[in-house]
Amino acid sequence: MEEVKITVDGKELTVAKGTLLIDACEANGIYIPRFCYHKHLTKSGNCRMCLVKIEKTPKPQPSCMTPVADGMIVHTRTPEIDAMRKAMLEFVLINHPLDCPICDKAGECMLQDQYMEFSGDKSRFNETKVAKEKLYHFSDRILYDAERCITCSRCVRFTSEVSKTNKLGLVLRGDSSYVSLAPGDTFDDPYSDCVTDICPVGALTSKQFRFKERVWNLHKTPSICAGCSRGCNISIETKDNQVYRVRPIENEHVNKSWMCNFGRDYYVHPTAERLTSQRSKKNDLDYNTFIKEVTPIFKENGAKMAFIVSSHATNEELALAKQLADVIGVKDIFTKSDREWKEDSGEVKEDDILITADKTPNLAGVKKTFTKAKDISTLTVSPFTHAFVWGVNASVKDLTKLKLIVLSTERDVVSDKADYLIAGQTPAEKHGSFTNIDGLVQPFRRAIRGEQNTSDLQFFVDVLKTLGETPLGRTVDEVRAAL
């Protein structure tokens, strides 16, 4: 790659030829304000906030449309540029309704941030603001407020370039301009919630998150989406142990800046009935008694045990499960997909953007850890007397006739018939790492605390300890270091 030298605010930068000036500056820690520019969309250059002074050019140039050239001398904060940005903001704010108290975007709004940095002036506009549609229901997920819109066209470019549904378009001109659907259409796009993330103001807001909480009260935990095997990088935003919303985090190699609507709902509205404690067939047990009763069963019946592994498990848990299987001499290990696509769910099965057909996060990790594992469809119950079922969706004929030890998060047919049942944790409640469909291993941390559930990892550690073995590690970090 050919490299060029440019000077930005007196700082010498060496960047690849053809890079846009705004990208070159951002990579080197110089932030240029923007509304319409988005890293993963085509550049449109309509907001004029990113104008910079380039020497030997007669006028300021939009840095999102200007590729770097050798010897370019750029100034991003001259008095003229600041005055121009202030004027641009004044234009934008002329018809902006200043709904900040009731706007869900307030606190992460680019217009608020840039007003605070570049303007701070009182309005000089004495005339009447243009009144537009305030509650335009794009779909049952997205609400559009035309007054707040600054017509940056990010959402329009998103639907035409990323989700490729071409649902949105800008109509009319000047101060009457607004984003619209085709007449009678609804914005039913499996990625529609991304427009609420990329909207620089609060024009497009999510109905799911509407008025739930102010954004500055949310605690953001970077995590990996467990909705499918793509492994999108997400930020789980919580308050008081409750998930309020999920947003994508930028990752150039996996999900760029996007994620699907299903992934958001997966964390915010968990549908399944959660299990919360451990029990034997007859009565509830406390954790230590449970481990004491279960361990001999593992020890004595290892060879006759069907060991069914969950694809919601993290790589660290899988490593400990493998150690346990080796210790007790399990011969047959089966993999299963914990969640399968159902035709009537309205969920997209597969597309060429992000959504994959494998609806669980770590099937690749399971196959990598248990190389000799067979698929659950090949499982017949006749050679076995016992089964260890990890996770849900173990749909095998007559499986409930075996003696079952179940480690699961949700209630289902198998867990109801279990001889020993212990509740596990969902991906949002545990530390660990997932291997995505392309073999990329991505670690994540816990976002919420589960209800008194023992972690799956702890269960294996305790069983191994009771068997007299030394587990690979007692915590996620120890296991990860041992691998």
What is the Cα 481 distance to its own chain's centre?
26
Residue 122 or 211 with smaller CB distance to other proteins: 211
Supply 107's token pair.
Answer: 């606190």
Q: Say if residues 75 and 53 touch (Cβ distance below 8 Å).
A: yes
Distance of alpha carbon 326 from alpha carbon 308, whole angstroms: 14
Judged by CB, which is closer to other proteins: 148, or 256? 148
What number of residues does the chain have? 483
CB 307, CB 325: distance < 8 Å: yes
- Give least dist CB 274 to other proteins, A: 24
Task: Tell me the closest approach of the beta carbon of residue 214 to other proteins, in angstroms.
Answer: 5
For residues 8 and 73, what is the distance between their CA atoms, to the nearest angstrom?
6
- Bridge partner residues of 305 (DSSP): 386
Considering beta carbons, is residue 59 or 210 the nearer one to other proteins? 210
Minimum distance from residue 415 beta carbon to other proteins (Å): 35
Could you tell me the smallest distance in angstroms from the CB atom of residue 212 to other proteins?
A: 8
Instruction: Report the nearest approach of other proteins to the CB of residue 132 (Å).
Output: 13
CB atoms within 10 A of CB 213: 16
Q: Which is nearer to other proteins, 134 or 292 (CB)?
A: 134
Question: Residue 52: CB partners within 8 Å, gap ≥ 6?
Answer: 21, 32, 60, 61, 63, 74, 75, 76, 81
CB nearer to other proteins: give 134 or 401.
134
Residue 259 beta carbon to other proteins: minimum distance, rounded to whole angstroms: 26
Q: Which is nearer to other proteins, 101 or 120 (CB)?
A: 101
Cα separations (Å) of 402 from 337, 383, 407?
21, 10, 15
Nearer to other proteins, 73 or 98 (CB): 98
Nearer to other proteins, 133 or 375 (CB): 133
User: How many CB atoms neighbour CB 112 within 10 A?
Assistant: 17
In contact, 392 and 414? CB cutoff 8 Å: yes
CB of 136 to other proteins, least distance (A): 11
Q: Which is nearer to other proteins, 1 or 135 (CB)?
A: 135
Maximal CA-CA distance, the chain: 85
What dihedral do alpha carbons 252, 256, 260, 263 form, nearest 10°?
40
**What DSSP state is assigned to residue 40?**
T
Dist. CA 231–CA 289, nearest whole Å: 37
Coil vs helix vs strand at 129 = coil
Query: Is the Cβ of residue 102 or residue 116 nearer to other proteins in the bound state?
Result: 102
Whose Cβ is closer to other proteins: residue 104's or residue 347's?
A: 104
CB of 101 to other proteins, least distance (A): 3
Q: How far is the CB of 164 from other proteins (least distance, A)?
A: 33
Q: What share of the chain is helix, strand, coil (3-state, %, to 5)?
A: 30, 20, 50
Smallest gap from Cβ 45 to other proteins, in A, equals 33
Query: How far is the C-alpha of 5 from the C-alpha of 24, rounded, in Å?
Result: 11
Tokens encoding 135 = 């509650």
Residues 6+ apart with CB under 8 A from 356: 228, 229, 230, 350, 437
Phi first, then psi: give them for residue 69, nearest 5 degrees: -130, 155
Q: Choose between 14 and 217: whose C-beta lies nearer to other proteins.
A: 217
Report whether 284 contacts 332 (CB < 8 A): no
Sequence-separated (6 or more) residues with CB below 8 Å from residue 121: 86, 90
Min CB(123)–other proteins separation in Å? 15
Min separation Cβ 171 and other proteins, Å = 22
Q: What residue ranges bind other proteins (CB under 8 A)? A: 100-102, 106, 134-135, 210-212, 214, 216-217
Nearest to 221 by CA among 454, 425, 448: 448
